[in-house]
């Protein structure tokens, strides 16, 4: 009888510990660390640890779960169970390990440039692009120009080809405009050469240098910007594709 009582009690203890793990509560077992996942995403992602699906992380929420100490494969999967990012993280006893500061485009998971020693020439800026508007083609070739809204004169600056939805493009180097009425605008064609973004009908994108779009058109020297080409606002007024500043760093 005592043996049965012991088995029942032990089983209840295991169930209780499993419930704590499943709810993401921090447990006191010294052989466990904590995984914390936080990022910007518009759709839920599945969390997979060592090939086993654990739970989901939802937009606007952080995800936390205990993980045994040591190295573990942490992967995020989309709704079709396709892996969008996979990395190996080290976990220590009672310590938090973060997978954070990422941006999920709906196609790929993006992170800031890991090489923080890179910098544009003094007074210049670097900008790279990704497509975040789901209605746009999966790949675009972009042409960056100065556009003077007073005169309608467009001055080509450079091209960035092969811009996609799942990864950032190469950087393009920019200088400050000589006129407050000039704006960096983005024309784009699909791989068949059809114009998709055009200043001619004001459906082009434009470059922002800040997260706050009210001041985003102001040039910021020495900045390194990772920018998404976003959707046209659903306000019935604007026809420009909104820029989406995803990551920003000022070079020292």
What is the secondary structure of 111-133 as a DSSP string?
---S-TT--PSTT-EEEEEEE--
Q: What is the pLDDT of residue 182?
A: 82
**CB count in 10 Å sphere of residue 104:** 21
- Global pTM value: 0.79
Give the start-to-end residue ranges of the domains of the chain.
Answer: 24-106, 125-250
What percentage of the chain has pLDDT greater than the value 90?
A: 67
Q: Which residues of 49-65 are buried (b: 16+ CB within 10 A; e: fewer)?
A: beeeebbebeeeeebbb
Q: What is the pLDDT of residue 216?
A: 47
pLDDT score at 30? 58
Residue numbers in the chain where pLDDT is lower than 50? 1-22, 29, 215-216
DSSP for 27-91 reads P--TTEEEEEEEEEESS-EEEEETTEEEEEE-TT--EEEEEESEEEEEEEE-TTS-EEEEEEEEE
pLDDT value of position 151: 87
pLDDT at 99: 95
* Residue 177 confidence (pLDDT): 76
Which pLDDT score, from 0 to 100, does residue 236 have? 81
Question: pLDDT, tens digit, for every residue of 163-176?
Answer: 999 999 999 999 98
Cα four-point dihedral sign 62, 66, 68, 69: positive
Tell me which CATH homologous superfamily contains domain 24-106: Immunoglobulins (2.60.40.10)
């Amino acid at each position: 009888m005592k043996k049965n009582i012991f088995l029942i009690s032990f089983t209840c203890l295991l169930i209780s510990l499993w419930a704590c793990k499943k709810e993401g509560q921090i447990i006191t077992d010294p052989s466990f660390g904590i995984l914390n996942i936080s990022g910007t995403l518009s759709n839920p992602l599945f969390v997979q640890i060592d090939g086993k699906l654990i739970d989901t992380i939802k937009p606007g929420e952080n995800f936390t779960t205990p993980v045994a100490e040591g190295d573990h494969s942490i992967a995020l999967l989309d709704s079709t169970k396709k892996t969008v990012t996979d990395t190996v993280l080290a976990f220590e006893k009672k310590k938090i390990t973060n997978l954070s500061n990422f941006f999920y485009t709906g196609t790929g998971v993006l992170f800031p440039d890991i090489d923080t020693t890179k910098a544009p020439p003094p007074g210049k800026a670097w900008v790279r692009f990704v497509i975040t508007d789901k209605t746009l083609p999966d790949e675009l070739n972009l042409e960056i120009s100065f556009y003077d809204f007073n005169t309608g004169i467009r001055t080509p600056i450079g091209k960035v080809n092969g811009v996609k939805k799942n990864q950032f493009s190469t950087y393009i180097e920019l200088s400050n405009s000589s006129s407050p009425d000039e704006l960096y605008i983005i024309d784009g064609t699909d791989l068949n050469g059809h114009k998709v973004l055009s200043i001619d009908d004001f459906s082009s994108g434009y470059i922002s240098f800040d997260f706050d779009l009210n001041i985003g058109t102001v040039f910021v020297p020495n900045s390194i910007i990772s920018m998404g080409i976003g959707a046209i606002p659903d306000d019935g007024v604007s026809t420009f594709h909104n820029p989406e500043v995803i990551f920003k760093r000022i070079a020292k």
